[in-house]
Amino acid sequence: MTPKTVLAMCRENDVKAIDLRFMDFIGQWQHTTIPASHLTEDTFEDGLGFDGSSIRGWQVINESDMLIVPQPDTAWMDPFTQLPTMNFICNIQDPITREDYSRDPRNVARKSVAYLQSTGMADTAYFGPEAEFFIFDDVRFDQRPNEGYYHIDSIEAEWNRGRDEGPNLGHKIRFKEGYFPVPPLDQLMDIRNDMMQTLIDCGLDVECQHHEVGTAGQAEIDLRFNEMVRMADELMMYKYIIKNVARRHNKTVTFMPKPILGDNGSGMHVHLSLWKDEQPLFAGDGYAGLSEMALYAIGGILRHASTILAFTNPTTNSYKRLVPGFEAPVNLAYSQRNRSAACRIPMYSPSPKSKRVEFRCPDPSCNPYLAFSALLMAAIDGIQNKIDPGHPLDKDIYDLPPEEAAGVAKTPPSLAAAIDALEADHQFLLRGDVFTQDVIDTWVAYKRENEIDPMRLRPHPYEFCLYYDI
C-alpha cells in the first residue's frame, strides 16, 4: 500500500481523523491524532514531531525532539471511535540524523529480521503467538503507605457460588475447569464472538476463540501466524481491540499473567518457524520430523532461555505464573506434544509447512517486538553455532523422580534473576546492531528501578497474615 492509495482510502471512507500509534519502550501503545486534512504524501516521508522525553525509557529532556513516521501499509479503520478514524502504526526517527531510533521496539524487530536475512540462512521468520487473557466484571486496587489491596470479580467465578445475584443461576466455573465448556457455564461466548468478529473486520486472520482453563472469564483468541514484524503489529491491534470490545460490554480485560491465586495464569505460547524462498526450513527427518536447523534453533533457545525471559516474561507478576510444580512450563527441555516442556514440537499435522517450534514460557504482558526479537536472535545463535539441544524429554516432567527432575534446568525464579541473566548473557543480541548496548542497559535499569525495587520495598498483604502476631 502506498501513500497515494492510503489517501484514496481516506476519501472513500470519509475519514475525519488520523491516529498515529507507536510502541513505547516498555510495551504500551501510545498515540496522537491529527485531522485527516493534514495527512499528505509528504507526511509519510517527513513525519511529525513529538516529545520523546515524555515516553518511558526514551530521551532526556535536552534531546527530546523526535519524529513519528506513519507506515502506509499498516492502515486500518478504528472500530471504536465516533469520528471516522484511520489508524497507522509508526516508526520513530531522530529528526536531525533521520536514523531509525535505537530504542524504538519496532525498529529492533525490523533489524532482527534484517539480520536473519543477512546471514543467508533464511529470509522469513514466521511467528504465531497464542495470547490468553481474563475478562472481569470488576477490578479495584490501590497501594498507599498504610494499605494495599486488590479486588477482582467475575460472574463466572467459583467464589460467587453463594452470592445473592437476584437470582444466582448457579453456573459457575470451578477452578481449572474452564477449558471448552458450552454455555450456560461459559457465559462469555457472545463477548468473545464480538471480539473475534471485530478482529476480522479490522483485517486480522482469526483461527479460533474459546474459554480457557481458568475460572472468572479466562479466554483465548488465536491469530494465524504471520511474518514477525507484522505479527507484532497484529498483536498490538489484538490487545487494543480485545480491551475495547470488553469495555463496550461493560467488562474489563487484563493481560496480566497471574491475577488469580490458585488457578491458571495467562500465558502466550509462541510458535516460530524459518523459511527461505517460500520453503519451510524446520521440517526434516530428525526427531519429531524436525530438520537439523530446527534442532539447533531449539538449542539456542534453551541455552539463552533465562535471557530471553527478561523480554518474554518482563513483569514481576510473570514469575507468579512460572512456578515449578504448577501449570506453567518452567522446565528448559524440548519434546514433541509434551506441554510440560519449555519447547514443544506440535504434532497436529504431517505437512512440512506446519513444522515449527513452540516456546511455551512467554506471557502476554511482554512487548512483542522485543520478545520476538530476543527469541529469534537466540534461535539464530543456535543455528550459527550448532548448539546441541541435548536429548528430548518425552515424559511428564512434573512426575519425574526428584533426582531426575533435579537434572532438568529451570526458568529463572524472578524478574530480578532474569534481568541478572540478561546482564550476563546478551552478546548474541548485539549482533547486527539489533539490540544495542544502550537498549540492554536501559531495559535493565528501568526494570530494576521502576518494577523490581518498588516491589521489594512494599509490604505484601499476605505478610500480615504470616507475621503480624509475631
Catalytic residue positions?
51, 130, 132, 212, 220, 269, 339, 358, 360
d(CA 43, CA 34): 11
The DSSP line for 279-318 is EESSBSSSGGGB-HHHHHHHHHHHHTHHHHHHHHS-STTH
Residues 6+ apart with CB under 8 A from 467: none
> 413: left (phi > 0), else alpha (psi -120 to 50), else beta?
alpha
Given phi > 0 = left and psi -120 to 50 = alpha, else beta, which region is 316?
alpha
274 touches 293 (CB < 8 A): yes
Pair 151, 138: CB distance under 8 Å:
yes
Strands 357-359 and 268-276: antiparallel
Cell 500509534 -> residue: 21
| CA-derived radius of gyration, the chain | 23
Closest CA to 87 of 17, 3, 28: 17
Compute how many other C-beta atoms are within 10 angstroms of the C-beta atom of residue 189: 14
Nearest to 315 by CA among 23, 28, 21: 28
Q: Are 266 and 218 in contact (CB under 8 A)?
A: yes
Strand partners, 138: 153
Instruction: For residue 271, give the C-alpha cell.
Output: 510458535
CA 441 to chain centroid, in Å, comes to 21
Distance CA 404, CA 120 (A): 40
Please calculate the CA angle 187-190-191 and round it to the nearest 5 degrees: 90
Task: Tell me the backbone φ, ψ of residue 223, rounded to 5 degrees.
Answer: -100, 150
- Amino acid in the structure at residue 275: W
CA–CA gap between residue 129 and residue 134 (Å, rounded): 17
Q: Which residue has the cell 511474518?
A: 227
